[in-house]
Amino acid sequence: MSCNTQATQVHVDEDSGARRLVVNSRDLDGARDVSYEFLRREYSFDHVTVTDVINRLSENPLGPYLTCVPSSVRELVEQFPFFSVAHLRAIAQIHGVSLHGRLQRGMCKDALRLHDCEGSCPSVSYVFHVLKRPRHNYIFVPDLHRPSNSYSNECYMKAKENTKKQRQRRAANALEGLAPVGPPAEPPLVSPFPPVQSFAAKREIIREWQVEMSPDHLQEGVCAVCVQIFAAELLVDVVPSKEMLLTLNNNWLPAETRPRTYDIAKYEGAILCCHGMSCLGNIGDLRMCLCCRRSLSSPKPRQPKDAIANFQYYGVSELPVDVKSALACASQFELQLIALARATVITHHYQTKG
């Protein structure tokens, strides 16, 4: 710690039982260093001020005050344990540190220990006053615990205040005979933010992330009934029954537009997507999403509304060559007109029950 005085040598004399600081002045100008041990023994904190407004006439050796500039706020509050709550709040205010109205002394001290002075902090000096009786027998114990953040301290104080109000309310109700006084509720434990995880918890988080982001977990598949894309783990292979396949028929579709990518006769004329089928030439498992499987696996199978058999089968691969070429040469407005007419039919059948 450096002291802003024009002196180079300091010693202490005794005069009528009182301690006073004597400075041997020299012609050299500069700053000198004072140990925290000497400061704890000989001085008490007076106030904090901006360097530009210090009255030089009241400083040592002309006055009883010793003006010091520490290397950091954390070092000062850790090495000088005699700050009161009012002192800590004054230091926090001049450094722009916001403190809750009812924080305890240790919590205010932790907030200053976590503060890192930047360019926005003004040039601050700490003024100490010499003691009449030094602290000879004081044993200094440094703060070795990790400072808690202001958010956790504020949550703890708010919970404590709420508990105090609840106790007062119970006591008032008990006096009025409205409710008995129960055991006082303990303030909830507020975990530090962010919570400190154990090594086992960190390893479990990493393992879970690896499972979620593995290539096997990110695979996708197609539902054979509604042709929607889902994660592979959400699709289930279902052995189709005859009732299921008959439910997925659409007799309104012309025979020439029906799919030929699989043996539609063996699948009872069901309109399906070949990408969700395990076998195209014979009856095999069908990959279904949860919604389609629920509709088709009921005692009375019903056609899912999202099924392509419900007039949502486009049959692009089965279109004649001239129609394919016409669609390829169609303008954007012509395609929108076709889609608009198609949407009217789809909406009508989509809302039809049965």
pLDDT band for 2, please (50, 70, 90 cuts). low
Give the model's pLDDT for residue 39: 81
Residue 120, SS3 per DSSP:
coil
Determine contact, residues 221/288, Cβ cutoff 8 Å. no
Bigger pLDDT: 97 vs 186: 97
Residue 172 lies in a domain: yes
- In this prediction, residue 35 carries a pLDDT of 78
What percent of the chain shows pLDDT beyond 90? 16
Whether 296 and 304 have beta carbons less than 8 Å apart is answered as yes
Half-sphere CA count of 167, side-chain side, radius 13 A:
11
**pLDDT digits over 121-136, tens only?**
777 888 888 888 888 8
**Among 185, 161, 181, 165, CA closest to 173:** 181
Q: Determine the pLDDT at residue 112.
A: 78
282 shares its domain with 243 = yes
pLDDT tens, residue by residue, 175-232: 766 545 456 666 656 666 677 788 888 899 999 988 888 887 788 899 999 999 998 8
Write b or e for each residue in 36-57: b if 16 or more Cβ atoms lie within 10 A of its Cβ, otherwise e: bebbbbbbbbbebbeeeeeeee
Position 90 in a domain: yes
Mean pLDDT of 340-353: 58
Percent of the chain whose pLDDT exceeds 70? 74
Residues of the domain holding 172: 150-182
Residue 114 burial (C-beta neighbours within 10 Å; 0-12, 13-18, 19+)? middle
79 and 121 inside one domain: yes
Tokens of 235: 């699709």
| Residue 132 and residue 248 share a domain | no
**pTM for the predicted model, two decimal places:** 0.38
Cα gap 246→100, rounded to integer Å: 71
Domain end: 163, 182, 201, which one?
A: 182
Indicate whether 301 and 277 sit together in one domain.
Answer: yes
Residue 7 has a pLDDT of: 35
Element (H, E) at 327: helix 321-329
Nearest to 66 by CA among 95, 87, 36: 36
| Alpha carbon of residue 290 to chain centroid | 33
Q: Based on the domain organization, do 44 and 117 belong to the same domain? A: yes
More confident residue, 15 or 334: 334
At residue 294 the predicted structure's pLDDT band, cuts being 50, 70 and 90, is: very high
Mean pLDDT on 110-124: 76
Say whether 3 sits in a helix, a strand or coil: strand
Q: Do 114 and 40 share a domain, yes or no? A: yes
Question: Total structural domains in the chain?
Answer: 4
Same-domain status, 166 and 73: no
Q: Do residues 73 and 129 both lie within one domain? A: yes
How far apart are the C-alpha atoms of 123 and 305, rounded to whole Å?
Answer: 73
Residue from 77, 151, 139 nearest 112 by CA:
77
Model confidence band, residue 14 (pLDDT cutoffs 50, 70, 90):
very low
Higher pLDDT pick, 171 / 143: 171
Torsion of CA 179, 180, 182, 185, to 10 degrees: 30
C-alpha to C-alpha distance for 128 and 39, rounded to whole angstroms: 8
Query: Regarding predicted confidence, which is higher, 178 or 245?
Result: 245
Query: Any long-range contacts for 113-118 (C-beta under 8 Å, 24+ apart)?
Result: 113/73, 113/74, 113/77, 113/78, 113/143, 113/147, 114/74, 114/147, 114/149, 114/150, 115/73, 115/74, 117/72, 117/73
- What backbone phi and psi angles, to 5 degrees, belong to 69? -130, 105
In whole numbers, what is the pLDDT of the chain averaged over residues?
Answer: 76
The answer to whether 268 and 242 are in contact (CB under 8 A) is: yes
Q: Are 128 and 174 part of one and the same domain? A: no
